[in-house]
């Protein structure tokens, strides 16, 4: 996909996320919308994956450490054909595989996650295994910014640098908000770039909604041999829905009927703008 196609795809995934959460009357709206561009860049452009063979040994691995924001990941996996798209209708319903956190009973999910602070440790183990097995795959781990207050994150950071895991890419969805407010009010974590550099990582800051910049950074990792990479992605909570952006209450809020229609209209207008700018015909 070129950049316009990726931006259109991310917009459509956001619409799917909102419909799914509204239908289920459950879900993490804000964080799923803030990480959508990151996941779109990874799954449609950067990572080596095969939906027809989810356990392909040479696939790149992805760990969603901020597992509560799984909705965008479910929508992307369904869109790519890891499981039928109709299954999205069962999200958070009794007996479903599509629960509110990643579930490795679903093709495309490497590990159950959601207890914050654990994902990077899992990713370190996978990256170390690749090195010892002589495999060329990369491991990507998406973390939340509130998660940076967890001590296990920093233990994993030390291990990643110690073992020279340049096949490991950590990504922080830095939207500045967590369930109870600003990260800097709840537990100050800045300066994140300086801290990760001090732990031996190569750090790259990027606008987490600039698709061109995201793809460039993620495709080029590792930039420094012998060092894991940390992508500090500056994002906006509930990106794409103007009345929800940067509002902590949308961390775990479900849009009502009127809000859903407003949000879908905004996103449809943005998609139309992208098509005009890119010279695309209506799909």
State residue 115's pLDDT score.
Answer: 86
Report the percentage of the chain scoring pLDDT > 70.
99
| Matching CATH number, 3-278, of 3.40.50.720, 3.90.1150.10, 3.20.20.70, 3.40.50.970 | 3.40.50.970
How high is the mean pLDDT of the chain?
95
Task: Tell me the per-residue pLDDT of 101-155, one tens digit each, with 9 for 90 and over.
Answer: 999 999 999 999 988 999 999 999 999 999 999 999 999 999 999 999 999 999 9
State residue 278's pLDDT score.
Answer: 84
User: Which are the contacts of 134, defined by CB distance < 8 A and separation ≥ 6?
Assistant: none
pLDDT exceeds 70 at position 79: yes
Q: Indicate the pLDDT class of residue 282, thresholds 50, 70 and 90.
A: low
pLDDT exceeds 70 at position 80: yes
Q: What residues pair up with 24 in beta bridges, in sequence order?
A: none
Q: List C-alpha distances in Å: 82 to 63, 72, 79, 86, 237.
A: 16, 14, 8, 12, 27
Q: Per the structure block, which two tokens stand in for 36?
A: 């959508």
State residue 26's pLDDT score.
Answer: 96
pLDDT exceeds 70 at position 197: yes
Mean pLDDT of 226-246: 97
Task: Tell me the per-residue pLDDT of 178-187, one tens digit each, with 9 for 90 and over.
Answer: 888 888 989 9
Buried b (16+ CB within 10 A) or exposed e, 56-85: eeebbbbbbbbbbbbbbbbbbbbbeebbee
State residue 279's pLDDT score.
Answer: 76
pLDDT exceeds 70 at position 96: yes
For the residues of 6-48, what is the DSSP string, one character each? HHHHHHHHHHHHHHHHHHHT---HHHHHHSHHHHHHIIIIIS-
Ranges of each domain in the chain: 3-278
pLDDT exceeds 90 at position 223: no
User: Which are the contacts of 55, defined by CB distance < 8 A and separation ≥ 6?
Assistant: none
Give dist(CA 98, CA 80) in Å, integer. 16
Task: Tell me the per-residue pLDDT of 36-61, one tens digit each, with 9 for 90 and over.
Answer: 999 999 999 999 999 999 999 999 99
Q: Per the structure block, which two tokens stand in for 10?
A: 């991310």
DSSP β-ladder status, 177-178 and 181-182: antiparallel
Give every strand in the sheet of 139-144, ordered side by side: 61-64, 139-144, 168-174, 229-234, 202-207
pTM value is: 0.96
Q: Per the structure block, which two tokens stand in for 163?
A: 């073992």
State residue 88's pLDDT score.
Answer: 98
Q: Indicate the pLDDT class of residue 1, thresholds 50, 70 and 90.
A: confident
- Alpha-helix runs per DSSP H in the chain: 3-24, 29-34, 36-41, 71-80, 119-133, 151-162, 183-186, 192-198, 211-220, 257-278
């Amino acid at each position: 996909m070129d950049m316009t196609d990726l931006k259109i795809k991310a917009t459509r995934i956001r619409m799917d996320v909102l419909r799914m959460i509204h239908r289920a009357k459950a879900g993490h709206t804000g964080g799923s919308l803030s990480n959508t561009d990151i996941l779109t860049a990874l799954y449609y452009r950067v990572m080596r994956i095969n939906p027809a063979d989810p356990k392909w040994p040479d696939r790149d691995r992805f760990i969603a450490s901020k597992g509560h924001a799984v909705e965008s990941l479910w929508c992307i996996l369904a869109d790519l054909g890891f499981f039928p798209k109709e299954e999205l209708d069962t999200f958070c319903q009794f007996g479903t595989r599509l629960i509110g956190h990643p579930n490795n009973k679903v093709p495309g999910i490497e590990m159950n996650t959601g207890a914050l602070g654990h994902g990077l440790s899992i990713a370190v183990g996978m990256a170390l295994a690749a090195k010892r097995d002589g495999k060329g795959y990369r491991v990507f781990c998406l973390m939340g910014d509130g998660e940076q207050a967890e001590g296990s994150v920093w233990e994993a950071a030390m291990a990643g640098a110690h073992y020279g895991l340049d096949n490991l890419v950590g990504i922080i969805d830095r939207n500045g908000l967590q369930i109870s407010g600003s990260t800097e009010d709840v537990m100050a974590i800045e300066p994140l770039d300086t801290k990760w550099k001090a732990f031996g990582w190569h750090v790259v800051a990027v606008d987490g909604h600039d698709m061109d910049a995201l793809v460039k950074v993620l495709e080029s990792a590792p930039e420094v041999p012998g060092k894991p990479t940390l992508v500090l992605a500056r994002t906006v909570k509930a990106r794409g829905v103007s009345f929800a952006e940067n509002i902590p209450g949308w961390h775990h809020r479900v849009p009502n009927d009127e809000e859903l229609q407003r949000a879908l209209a905004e996103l449809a207008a943005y998609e139309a703008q992208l098509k005009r700018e890119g010279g695309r015909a209506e799909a």
